[in-house]
Amino acid sequence: MAEDYVEAIAEAISENGICRAVDLVRHFDVTHATVSNTISRLQRDGLVVTEPYQPITLTAKGKRMATKARNRHEVVRTFLLRIGVSETTATEDSEGIEHHVSDETLRAMKRVMKDGIPASD
Amino acid sequence: MAEDYVEAIAEAISENGICRAVDLVRHFDVTHATVSNTISRLQRDGLVVTEPYQPITLTAKGKRMATKARNRHEVVRTFLLRIGVSETTATEDSEGIEHHVSDETLRAMKRVMKDGIPASD
DNA sequence: GAAACAACTTAGCCCGTGCTAAGTTTCGAG
DNA sequence: CTCGAAACTTAGCACGGGCTAAGTTGTTTC
Ligand SMILES: [Mn+2]
Ligand SMILES: [Mn+2]
Ligand SMILES: [Mn+2]
Ligand SMILES: [Mn+2]
């Protein structure tokens, strides 16, 4: 959850300069109330900073998480495409899978995309 | 959640003949209270049948889900091993990843394990 | 058969994530 | 400058999934 939020916030900032709650409402297709609640939790956890009616910014910690999450998401998605999954499915599945992929598995995916499948021993 | 539960119940039954709540308490490392609650929900959803102080059995629907989940879990785990991930990590990561893998992605994994990586176009 | 122990249930609590409904703030037109 | 619409907050609700504490049922063992 936190990962998807900071990723979406970073995306909005990089696209529009700022991130407003309404961007997240659209992105996640939830209500303003839900976004408001979630943002409070993210702020409590030191990932974002915001004030009532003001745009949302990422803390250093939030930026770090966003970068890692974005990278992981993209590697997983690309990997799925690489093993022959359709665009649509790769996009859908990577949205969930990304949150369970360890650093080791991520490295394995990158290795495979570069060097192909390891010897069948 | 449901998938992991029916999978664990099927496993207990195939190993001990029956599944008791205490098996799930041990398997998931949660309290009896939690298992009791969860089983109620599974029963409400038509996946299991049980009566107070009695063993837990799977409905047809529950068995179907268990079989699919078990297969998916195993394919994902084997696939991770196949791309060079360690036993420990493959076991850990597959526990989460399995729940986000569509049929299409599952087929792609099986294909890759059989025929290797698709042509780089 | 009574006592002790294991298995289980039930009540009551917390938090996360979602909602609706209602009110507040901000901002752009007119 | 005012008003309406868009953005946002707040309160109150529900459910999933976790807990502790306390009580109940079942089973073994003496
Ligand atoms: Mn993501
Ligand atoms: Mn995601
Ligand atoms: Mn599983
Ligand atoms: Mn699992």
Average pLDDT over residues B3-18: 97
Segment A62-105, tens digit of pLDDT: 999 999 999 999 999 999 999 999 999 999 999 999 999 999 99
- B19-B42-B79 Cα angle (round to 5): 75
Q: List the domain boundaries for chain A.
A: 2-64, 67-115
> How many whole angstroms separate alpha carbon A106 and alpha carbon A14?
25
For the purposes of burial, counting CB atoms within 10 Å of the CB of B54, is it exposed (0-12), middle (13-18) or buried (19 or more)? exposed
Token code pair at residue B76:
């994902």
Q: Residue B19's beta-bridge partner residues?
A: B56
Q: How many Å does it take to go from CA B97 to C1' D19? A: 27
Q: How far is CA B11 from CA A45, A98, B34, B55, B57, in A?
A: 39, 28, 19, 14, 11
Residue A30 has pLDDT above 80, yes or no: yes
A109–B82 C-beta distance less than 8 A: no
Substitution target from A95, A102, A120 for chain B, most B beta carbons within 10 A:
A102
Segment B36-69, tens digit of pLDDT: 999 999 999 999 999 999 999 999 999 999 999 9
Give the pTM: 0.94
> How many whole angstroms separate alpha carbon B9 and alpha carbon A45?
37
> How many beta-carbon contacts under 8 Å exist across A and B?
72
Segment B99-120, tens digit of pLDDT: 999 999 999 999 999 999 887 7
* Percent of chain B as helix, strand, coil, to the nearest 5: 70, 5, 25
pLDDT value at residue A120 = 74
Q: How far is CA A79 from CA A74, A105, B87, B115, in A?
A: 8, 11, 21, 16
Mean of pLDDT over chain A: 97
Architecture of the domain delimited by B67-115: Orthogonal Bundle (1.10)
pLDDT band at A121 (very low <50, low <70, confident <90, very high): low
In chain A, positions 24-53 with C-beta closer than 7 Å to nucleic chain D are 25, 32-33, 35-37, 39, 50, 52-53
Report the candidate in B69, B64, B55 with the shortest Cα–Cα distance to residue B17: B55
**CATH among 1.10.3210.10, 2.40.50.140, 1.10.10.10, 3.90.1150.10 for A2-64:** 1.10.10.10
B53 touches strand D (CB under 7 A): yes
> How many whole angstroms separate alpha carbon B21 and alpha carbon B36?
7
Task: Calculate helix-pair angle for A103-115, A60-82, nearest 10 degrees.
Answer: 40
Q: How far is the CA of B77 from the centre of ligand 2 (A)?
A: 21
Q: How far is the CA of B54 from the centre of ligand 3 (A)?
A: 24
Q: How far is the CA of B57 from the centre of ligand 1 (A)?
A: 38
Report the candidate in A61, A36, A29 with the shortest Cα–Cα distance to residue A50: A36
